[in-house]
Chain A
Amino acid sequence: GENVEQHPSTLSVQEGDSAVIKCTYSDSASNYFPWYKQELGKRPQLIIDIRSNVGEKKDQRIAVTLNKTAKHFSLHITETQPEDSAVYFCAASMVDSSYKLIFGSGTRLLVRP
């Protein structure tokens, strides 16, 4: 089955700097890759997603890139702010199947003011 690896497990950046989180997946049939932000004790919230027919997607300070050949995708956050501090999870799915999400192990991002 699908396996998603995520790194780093923790990331500390200065406010205003960029943060990059990377994920790799094992199943080449996966075609949907969402990113979730989870604050302590809260539900995961979708922040951006990308389908396999697109190489890059951007939404204001957040962007995701996908390399299908290498089977990896990355989250880029620019101009980080203290409120970006949270745990970020990548996930992979096949939308033509049961559409279950297989999550990475998470990255704890700390933005220092």
Chain B
Amino acid sequence: EPEVTQTPSHQVTQMGQEVILRCVPISNHLYFYWYRQILGQKVEFLVSFYNNEISEKSEIFDDQFSVERPDGSNFTLKIRSTKLEDSAMYFCANAGTGSYGYTFGSGTRLTVV
């Protein structure tokens, strides 16, 4: 079964630093998403990305966040100036045209200290 790969698996960063989380999606799936999950809580939608542009974003996805596909394959989430409350598990997800099921990546645990 195709997989969505995320790197790094765990990132520790100091408050105020920039982080970039990376995702390698399934090659023929054109819908990309980022979700986050604070420890012990539900999964929350951050942003959806289709046809090289953001199609929808949540209130969480403020000016500190950005996404891009720098080389047409990888999909990245950047947090410009991390805050303590950004500590969470971040999941990339991928969906294909005509397919309703998401494939979630393995996740990146971000710890801001």
Chain A interface residues (CB < 8 Å from chain B): 32, 34, 36, 42-46, 49, 51, 89, 91, 95, 97-106
Main SS of chain B's interface residues?
strand
Choose, from B14-22, B43-51, B68-76, the stretch at the interface.
B43-51
| B100 lies within 8 A of A32 (CB) | yes
* CB-CB contacts below 8 Å: B22-75 with A: 31, 33, 35, 41-45, 48, 50, 55-56, 58
Chain B interface residues (CB < 8 Å from chain A): 31, 33, 35, 41-45, 48, 50, 55-56, 58, 91, 95, 100-102, 104-107
| A98 lies within 8 A of B56 (CB) | yes
| A44 lies within 8 A of B91 (CB) | yes
B44 touches which of A32, A46, A97, A103 (Cβ 8 Å):
A103
